[in-house]
Amino acid sequence: MEREAHDVLTSACLCYAEHPLDAAVTSYLDGVMMRGSTVRLLGFGAIALSLVSVGSCASSGESSGCKGACSGSGAAGTESAAGGGGASSGDDSGGVGGGGSPGNLESGAGGGGAEAGETARPEGGAGGAGGASGGSPGTPEAGSGAAGADGGSGGESDSPGTSCTEGSKGSEGLSCRELSARCGATAESCCTNVCVPGGSFTLGGTVTAPTSQATVADFHLDKYEVSVGRFNAFVASYDAWRAAGNPRQGAAAHPLIAESGWRVSWTALLPSNSSILNSSVRCGTYATGSAGRAQLPMNCVSWYEAFAFCAWDGGRLPTEVEWEYAAAAGSEGRLYPWGADPPTADRAVYDCLANDTPGCRFEEILVVGSKPSGVARWAQHDLAGSMWEWVVDSRASYPPVAVNYANVSDGSTRVVRGGSWFNEAADMRAANRLDIEPTTRNGDMGIRCAR
C-alpha cells in the first residue's frame, strides 16, 4: 500500500485523494476540513494519505473541495509551513502529493535531508481544536470511575533531587496509588520508573544536523508510557486538584532548568473541569481513553494536559535532551533505543504491523510494554513507537553545547519524540524530532513522565 507520507498543512483546506483510505480516516479528515481550521496532519499521514500544503483555499464550505488549489508538492520536509507550500502544480488531482516521499517522516527534524535546523514544522498532528469527529467506537464512557482519590497533591514536584543510582527505582507516581492494572511482562506497577544516570552525548546522533554536545544530570524516567488507567485516575482527581489551585506557577519544573515549570498563563488552555477533560481526550477513532483499556497508552492529550498530568502525578515532562539521552543510551549513541538493528515488529509498535490486517486499525495500538525486545538501555519500553511522547521543549535548533538544557521559550510548537504505531521505521530513530502545536490532539501522541 502506498505510504506516502504526510505533509504540512497550513491552510484551511487539505487535499487527499486517490488512495484507498480507511473509511474512518476519510471521515476524520472530512470532519477536520469542515471545521475549516488550520490543520496539519501527522500520524495519520503515515498511512495511506498524502497531504499537501495549500496556500489559499478558501475555507468556506468546500467539503472535499479545494482540489483546484492543491499542489502536488509533497516533497519531504520542504514545505514552508506557512504560506502553503510551494509548487503548485496546478494539477487538481486532489493532491496526491506528488512526491509524497517517505522521507518526510523525518519530520522535519531530524532527518537528514532538508532539515535546516528549524524551518517549519514538519508535519502536523491532526486536528487542532476540539478533536471530536467521528464517532469513536467502542466503549463510550468512562473516565472516571477510577479511584476516587482526590489527591490534592500539590503539583510541585518536590525536588526530585538531581542524583540517583543507575537502575534504581524512584518513587511512583500518584496515578498508581489506587490503580489495580499492572504493566509489562512482569505485571509490575505501571508507574515504575528507573534512574537514568547522567552523562554527555551527541544530541542528534549521526542522523541529525546540526548536532550538539549535550550533558544531562541524573533523572528518573518512567518505564512505560502513561496508560489509560493512570490518566483516568487523573481525570477522577482533576476537579479537586484544580480547585486547590493547581497547577501552580512553576509546578513540575526541571530542578536545574529555570523557567521550565508551569505558567499560569497556560491554565486557561486546560479543560476547566473533569467532564470536559474526559470528553476532550476522545479525539476520534483512535482515541484510547476509555474505561476497560487501562493498559493501553493514553493518547489524544494536548501538551498542556500532558504537562499537567505529569505535574499531578509528581513528575514532570522530560526535556527533549533527556528523552533522546535515554533513547540513544547516552554515550553509546544508539540509532534506536535497542541498538543499531532496524525496527521489527518484535521491537516496537510501529507501522501498523501489530496484526496482519491491511492498513491501520485501532487494535494495532497495544498495551504499554508489549515489546520487551525493544527495551532501551535503562529499561524504558516503547520509547520508539507506540505513541509519540510530548517533551517540555519548544522546537528550536540545538545549541552547540547543551548542559541541562531545554528550550523553555513559549514557542508556537512543542516537540514530540519517538514515532508512533502509525509511523514507519525511520521515525523510530532516537534522534528523530517532530514538533507540533501544543493544543494538538492526536491518536498517536501520548505521554511519558520524568521525575
Binding region for Ca ion (CB under 5 A): 352, 357, 382, 386-387, 389, 418
Cβ nearer to Ca ion, comparing 54 with 416: 416
| Burial 228-241, CB ≥16 within 10 A → b, else e | bbbbbbbbbbbbbb
Pick 262 or 388: Cβ nearer Ca ion: 388
Q: Could you tell me the smallest distance in angstroms from the CB atom of residue 135 to Ca ion?
A: 22
Cα torsion 42, 43, 44, 48 to 10°: value is 110
Q: How far is the CB of 421 from Ca ion (least distance, A)?
A: 9
**Cα gap 399→129, rounded to integer Å:** 32
**291: number of Cβ within 10 Å:** 16
Nearer of residues 284 and 418 to Ca ion, judged by Cβ: 418
Minimum distance from CB of 297 to Ca ion (Å)? 7
Minimum distance between the CB of residue 179 and Ca ion, rounded to whole angstroms? Answer: 20
Minimum distance of Ca ion from residue 325's CB (angstroms)? 15
In the block, residue with C-alpha cell 552525548: 201
Closer residue to Ca ion (CB): 98 or 297: 297
**Nearest distance, CB of residue 225 and Ca ion, angstroms:** 6
Residue 292 one-letter amino acid: G
Give the shortest CB-420-to-Ca ion separation in angstroms.
7
Q: How far apart are CA 31 and CA 273, in angstroms?
A: 25
Nearer to Ca ion, 67 or 429 (CB): 429
Write out the three cell numbers for 374. 525493544
Contact (CB, 8 A) for 190 and 295: yes
One-letter identity of residue 330: G
Closer residue to Ca ion in complex, CB, 277/327 = 327
CB of 199 to Ca ion, least distance (A): 22
Pairs from 157-161 (Cβ < 8 Å, separation ≥ 24): 157/251, 157/252, 157/253, 157/311, 157/314, 157/315, 157/316, 157/451, 158/314, 159/255, 160/219, 160/220, 160/255, 160/315, 160/316, 160/451, 161/255
User: Nearer to Ca ion by C-beta: 40 or 371?
Assistant: 371
CB-nearer residue toward Ca ion: 352 or 375? 352
In DSSP notation, 217-277 reads --EEEESSPPBHHHHHHHHHHHHHHHHTTPSPTTTT--TTSTT-S--GGGGGGS-SSHHHH
What's the rounded Cα separation, in Å, for the pair 290 and 144?
9
